[in-house]
Amino acid sequence: MTDLPVIARKEGRAGRITLNRPKALHSLNQEMCDLMIEALLAWRDDDAVELVIVDHLEDTRGFCAGGDIRMLQDSGKADGKEAQAFFAAEYRLNTLIEEYPKPYVAIIDGVTMGGGVGISVHGDVRVATANTTFAMPESGIGLFPDVGGGWFLPRLDGELGQWLALTGARLKGKDVLAAGVATHFSEDATGLAAKLADEGLSALDGLEQSAEGSFAEHQSEIDNCFGKDTVEEIISCLEGGSDWAQKQAETLKTKSPLTLKVAHRQLREGGELNDFRENMKMEYRIGSRMVCTENFIEGVRAVLVDRDNDPKWVPADLASVDEKLVDSFFAPLGADELTFL
């Protein structure tokens, strides 16, 4: 077995990419992004490759648990350049997947969060399993739901995207299919990648393609409350709702106030865009700045370093998040902004 964090090879009809960083639940680093880009570009015009399959090393519980957050924090404490380089590679990969001319199949068996969502949800086929746990948990560490979150989240049914982005709610198993994050569901995906490589997309025949989510009973409250124009209005609406809605409000009060306001605007603006690349440029502007904030550095400290889960957010509350501060994350970076795509 190779020591490389991504195993890329041709197998049968397919180009196969297997994530191979098990101790980190296959969380993405820049080397992994570069290796995936290299493979996808090599196979794009290769007539022997009919489809691309992305999975992870067997017997590990994560498909891809996110990105290299500790590196982002370290870079943010310095000059932010390493973080910017990572975002550039990761977003270039997300864009390549979204625009890929051949079927791209991701088998999201296990934990699929953050960066793992970015290398799956933009593909044509996403197969969830009974082991799948999906989340965009960035509001809990002071980051934001990037990797194309501004594009795919507002395009889910109703206001599911805002709910998932702001609360960091986790979807499991068939709920991932019901939400539209997955396109197919297989109780057990053992052997599916090999079958796809041998048979092509016909290997998906018989897999479930629709389900009713456990969140369905709350859909009307999600749509009503998370469709409000401000985060403050969202929380007020939830506080006046059911016990479930009130729990969502309490959850939001623990999240980064800055992230909540940035993410709310990100999804609103992303939902209005017609070009995926424009969305990724927006997210690059946000990410390049957010990793250097005291807010993000503190969020990572509290959740991933000291693990006291008691972040002292900066600004401390929603009322203290000035609109000019939010605007600053969306402002143009300048001519070099375009170089990552």
Q: Is 116 among the catalytic positions?
A: no
Out of 98, 109, 138, 175, which one is annotated catalytic? 138
The span from the CA of 27 to the CA of 21, in Å, is 7
Out of 98, 146, 283, 298, which one is annotated catalytic? 146
Q: Is 67 among the catalytic positions?
A: yes
Out of 15, 110, 115, 213, which one is annotated catalytic? 115
Peptide bond into 257 cis (omega under 30): no
CA 260 from chain centre, in angstroms, equals 16
Q: Is 76 among the catalytic positions?
A: no
Out of 62, 66, 67, 116, which one is annotated catalytic? 67
Q: Is 115 among the catalytic positions?
A: yes
Residues involved in catalysis: 67, 115, 138, 146
